[in-house]
Amino acid sequence: KAGVTQTPRYLIKTRGQQVTLSCSPISGHRSVSWYQQTPGQGLQFLFEYFSETQRNKGNFPGRFSGRQFSNSRSEMNVSTLELGDSALYLCASSQLRGRGSQETQYFGPGTRLLVL
Amino acid sequence: GENVEQHPSTLSVQEGDSAVIKCTYSDSASNYFPWYKQELGKGPQLIIDIRSNVGEKKDQRIAVTLNKTAKHFSLHITETQPEDSAVYFCAARGGGSQGNLIFGKGTKLSVKP
């Protein structure tokens, strides 16, 4: 079974631009979460989608948004990029998502975004 | 909200020795505790996880222990090998409807041959 895939793997943008990142979860997985990883802040939760609905959102500004499609693929968008948005953006998928879920999350390789 | 503290931030051991990484969490309702290994240029890879109804779990050279009363959990790697060198992250997930993981800051493990 193929793992979580993310595209593109690397991206260079300039301040003020916007960017869209894509994530394809493991086949059969319906939940997709996004995380931002930076050396200073570590791994921080952005948002989670399940069955095309955002179920949870982390403490990030509204410039960060996402969506999930009927095939469970997900995209995240960052508008008006700032230098501080440079990071590794990770997508993780899990099979189910119930209340108090203990489902394992599997991570993709990430998209490394550099904002100049 | 949940807060996860991880120690040490760096750990250097000789090949064949054991390595122990410790994490504490704040939310007593947390019920799922995974450990991830991240190598340079790659995403985190799940190496072992434990759920709140279990006190210890072992998988070959890797073991995790959970003390719910004290709200801490630990990763134990025995007979370390150079390929164990990586950054290790602990995480916790709350017991409510929110499904996101809260991560520790990571431990950079170096295994010297």
Residues B72-93, mean pLDDT to the nearest whole number: 96
Q: Sign of the CA dihedral B75, A102, A88, B39? A: positive
CA distance, residue A57 to nearest chain B CA (Å): 9
CA distance, residue A52 to nearest chain B CA (Å): 15
Give me the pLDDT at residue B99, please. Answer: 62
- Conformation bin of residue B42: beta by default, left when phi > 0, alpha when psi is -120 to 50: beta
pLDDT band at B93 (very low <50, low <70, confident <90, very high): confident
- pLDDT per residue as tens, chain A (116 positions): 689 999 999 999 999 999 999 999 999 999 899 999 999 889 999 999 988 999 888 889 999 999 999 999 999 999 999 999 999 999 999 886 554 455 788 999 999 999 99
Question: Tokens representing A94?
Answer: 């899990």
What three-state secondary structure class fits A27? coil
Give me the pLDDT at residue B59, please. Answer: 92
Q: For the segment B9-60, what is each residue's pLDDT rounded down to a tens digit?
A: 999 999 999 999 999 999 888 888 999 999 998 999 999 999 877 799 999 9
Instruction: Give the alpha-carbon dihedral of B26, B32, B35, B41, to 10 degrees.
Output: -100
CB A52 within 8 A of CB A73: no
Please give the Cα distance from A40 to A19 (Å, whole number).
22
Please give the Cα distance from A115 to A106 (Å, whole number).
27
Q: What single-letter amino acid sits at A85?
A: D
Give me the pLDDT at residue A2, please. Answer: 80
Contacts of B39 in chain A (CB under 8 A): none
Please give the Cα distance from B64 to A66 (Å, whole number).
34
Give me the pLDDT at residue B43, please. Answer: 93
Give me the pLDDT at residue B97, please. Answer: 53
User: Which among A44, A46, A43 has a CA at the least distance from the CA of A55?
Assistant: A46
CB-CB under 8 Å, B97 with A55: yes
Question: What are the strands, taking DSSP E only, across chain A?
Answer: 5-7, 10-13, 19-24, 31-38, 42-50, 53-57, 64-68, 74-78, 87-94, 106-107, 111-115
Q: For the segment B67-76, what is each residue's pLDDT rounded down to a tens digit?
A: 999 999 999 9
